[in-house]
């Protein structure tokens, strides 16, 4: 810091006053004290040094610091000089394009609601800003009388989740109400005091009520299972599971229950070990094999194969049936999606089997592929990471 500028007129006046005091006979000690007090007062009351003026280089340095802070942020940020874009970070350039630098911000956004917001300031939610289904929260905040900042937050995923939850509740309500309505209708008929229902009709009604009640039970069980899997999706399973042995056990159980011996299992002699949740993997296998048995050709076998390599374990479930049309394949893992609703309900399906499979695979950090050829059949493939050698030894020891 530079020393303050000395107030020479005040110093000279102080010295003159002290000289008069000495001539008048005032003591030297008192005169010296007055001189020190006077000089100290002059020092304290000195004018503050003027602030350095902000020149062009200073402004450029400030902008460079702001830009370096904005660049790595994941939220799209745009800095404006009045209405012209001076800087856009990487996230903003990815969304709006690198060509926006130097443009008028209204030309860069090209949306009536966004233009209105930019003129008035504040925050607004704007649908269709970048794509027809996109939803963005756009804010403009003034930095000073010249510069301002525009922030764009993508709310599309949140809106999609809200829509998915709404659709799920609507679909679940419909799926639950259908068997309930059937049960209530038949029970009301049977409970009417003046109704004349013969024994055969009564037996048929009761069989329908039982079938619909079981369908309702299976639906509730699948809903609860899906909810548990979603709640645990961020918890990595740690149990060591030999997928080959588990597949053979599940296939034997399902074949015994059906009594048709249609399930054929091919699994390696060496362990096909993965880190997993045994109960969820059991459910995955049952859902895939049960689907293949229900929708495949009843005269043809269902093949379950497990193959182990040093890198992954592959599970394949193949049926030889009518197959699935290509337009349905991308939607098969959606909740309550059915390619043939009537056939699915007649077979006892809830529409949640493959959705449960998908969430189990995601929790196990695996990959699910579904391929089908109309008239030939469907192949479902699931790949998991292998645990072998030293990794397996470490897991066992720990």
Give the phi and the psi of residue 348 in degrees, each rounded to 5.
90, 15
In a shared domain, residues 304 and 389: yes
| Residues contacting 65, CB < 8 A, separation 6+ | none
Residue 212, H or E segment: helix 199-231
Model pLDDT for residues 344-363, shown as the tens digit of each residue? 666 667 788 899 999 999 99
Beta bridge partners of 319: 378
Query: Token digits for 103?
Result: 């443009």
The reply to whether 95 falls in a domain is: yes
What's the angle, vertex CA 203, arms to CA 197 and CA 204, rounded to 5? Answer: 95
For the residues of 278-289, what is the DSSP string, one character each?
A: HHHHHHHHHHHH
Structural domain tally of the chain?
4
Q: Are 121 and 105 in contact (CB under 8 A)?
A: no
Dihedral angle sign, alpha carbons of residues 7, 8, 13, 19: positive
In a shared domain, residues 222 and 241: no
Model pLDDT for residues 318-348, shown as the tens digit of each residue? 999 899 999 999 989 988 888 877 666 666 6
CATH of the domain at 113: 3.30.450.20
Q: How far, in Å, CA of 36 to CA of 42, rounded?
A: 10
The reply to whether 223 falls in a domain is: yes
Q: How many CB atoms lie within 10 A of CB 334?
A: 17
In a shared domain, residues 272 and 370: yes
Q: How far, in Å, CA of 337 to CA of 317, rounded?
A: 20
Owning domain of residue 14: 8-44
Check residues 168 and 106 and name the one with the higher pLDDT.
106
pLDDT given at position 396:
43
In a shared domain, residues 283 and 378: yes
Q: How far, in Å, CA of 52 to CA of 21, rounded?
A: 42
Q: Are 120 and 105 in contact (CB under 8 A)?
A: no
In a shared domain, residues 166 and 80: no
**pLDDT at 116 > cutoff 50:** yes
**pLDDT at 21 > cutoff 80:** no
Q: Whose structure tokens read 């599309």?
A: 156
**CA nearest 306: which of 333, 329, 323, 281?**
281
Q: What is the pTM of this model?
A: 0.60
**pLDDT at 194 > cutoff 70:** no
User: Is residue 38 classed exposed, middle or buried when 0-12, 13-18 and 19+ CB atoms within 10 A define those classes?
Assistant: middle
pLDDT bracket for residue 10 (50, 70, 90): low
**CA nearest 370: which of 385, 357, 387?**
357
Q: Whose structure tokens read 């096909």?
A: 272
């Amino acid at each position: 810091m530079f020393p303050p500028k000395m107030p020479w007129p005040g110093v000279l006046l102080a010295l003159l006053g002290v000289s008069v005091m000495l001539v008048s006979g005032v003591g030297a000690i008192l005169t010296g004290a007055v001189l020190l007090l006077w000089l100290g007062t002059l020092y304290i009351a000195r004018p503050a040094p003027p602030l350095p003026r902000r020149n062009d280089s200073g402004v450029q340095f400030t902008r460079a610091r702001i830009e370096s802070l904005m660049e790595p942020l994941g939220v799209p940020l745009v800095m404006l000089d009045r209405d012209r874009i001076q800087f856009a970070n990487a996230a903003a350039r990815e969304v709006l394009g690198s060509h926006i630098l130097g443009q008028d911000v209204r030309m860069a956004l090209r949306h009536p609601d966004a233009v209105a917001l930019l003129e008035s300031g504040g925050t607004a939610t704007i649908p269709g800003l970048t794509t027809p289904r996109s939803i963005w929260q756009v804010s403009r905040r003034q930095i000073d009388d010249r510069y301002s900042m525009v922030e764009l937050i993508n709310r599309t995923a949140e809106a999609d989740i809200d829509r998915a939850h709404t659709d799920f509740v609507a679909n679940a309500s419909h799926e639950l109400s259908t068997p309930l309505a059937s049960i209530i209708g038949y029970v009301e008929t049977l409970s009417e005091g003046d109704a004349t229902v013969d024994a055969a009709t009564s037996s048929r009604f009761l069989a329908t009520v039982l079938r619909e009640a079981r369908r309702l039970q299976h639906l509730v069980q699948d809903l609860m299972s899906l909810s548990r899997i979603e709640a645990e999706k961020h918890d990595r399973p740690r149990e060591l599971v030999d997928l080959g042995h588990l597949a053979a056990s599940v296939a034997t159980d399902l074949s015994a229950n059906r009594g048709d011996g249609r399930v054929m299992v091919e699994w390696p002699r060496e362990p096909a070990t993965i880190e997993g949740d045994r109960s969820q993997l059991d459910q995955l296998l049952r859902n895939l094999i049960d689907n293949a048995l229900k929708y495949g050709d009843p005269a043809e076998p269902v093949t379950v194969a497990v193959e182990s390599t040093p890198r992954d374990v592959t599970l394949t479930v193949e049926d030889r049936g009518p197959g699935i049309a290509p337009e349905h394949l991308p939607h098969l893992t959606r909740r309550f999606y059915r390619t043939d609703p009537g056939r699915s309900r007649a077979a006892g399906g809830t529409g949640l089997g493959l959705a449960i499979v998908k969430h189990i695979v995601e929790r196990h950090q695996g990959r699910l592929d579904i391929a089908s050829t109309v008239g030939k059949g469907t192949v479902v493939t699931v790949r998991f990471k292998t645990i072998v050698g030293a990794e397996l030894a470490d897991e066992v020891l720990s």
